[in-house]
């Protein structure tokens, strides 16, 4: 198992109006989200590699949002979130969102890099499934 970054897995945006976000992004992507966590989180799989794009209700953002909800966390796929998170902290990053299971097969964490950017790491079962399918 490696603590190396394997590839991008999920981009998460934030919205105050989840119904409007669902309508708008469904129009942009020309598909409905495949995952809806009770309106608090929506996720679409988009493009040739089914990259994941999520919208999280701003009230659940792990960092304070000022003014209108904005910003993104880009998550890098890793095999071991705890180990990757610990390594980033050891390299001088600051805690942003501790490792948290978001559902079966999905664990995320994020840090603030030394320059104030949010860097996310994620174990993502979908990413692993795509890798396995490509290896077949």
Q: What is the mean pLDDT of the chain?
A: 87
Residue 66: pLDDT above 60? no
pTM of this structure:
0.69
Pairwise pLDDT comparison (72 vs 75), residue with the higher score:
75
- pLDDT grade for 15, boundaries at 50, 70 and 90: confident
**Percent of the chain having pLDDT more than 90?**
46
- Token digits for 43? 């996720």
Query: Please, which residues bridge with residue 108 across strands?
Result: 100, 122
7-135 CATH fold? 2,3-Dihydroxybiphenyl 1,2-Dioxygenase; domain 1 (3.10.180)
Helical H runs in the chain?
Answer: 18-29, 81-90, 125-135
Q: Where are the domains of the chain?
A: 7-135
């Amino acid at each position: 198992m490696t603590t190396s970054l394997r590839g991008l897995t999920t981009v998460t945006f934030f919205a105050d109006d989840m119904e409007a976000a669902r309508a708008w992004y469904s129009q942009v992507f020309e598909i409905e989200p495949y995952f809806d966590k009770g309106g608090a989180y929506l996720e679409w799989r988009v493009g040739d590699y089914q990259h994941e794009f999520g919208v999280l209700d701003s009230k659940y953002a792990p960092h304070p949002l000022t003014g209108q909800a904005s910003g993104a966390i880009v998550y890098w796929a890793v095999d071991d979130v705890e180990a990757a998170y610990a390594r980033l902290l050891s390299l001088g990053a600051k805690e942003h969102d501790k490792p948290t299971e978001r559902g079966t097969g999905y664990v995320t964490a994020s840090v603030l890099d030394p320059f104030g950017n949010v860097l996310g790491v994620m174990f993502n079962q979908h990413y692993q499934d795509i890798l396995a399918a490509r290896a077949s």
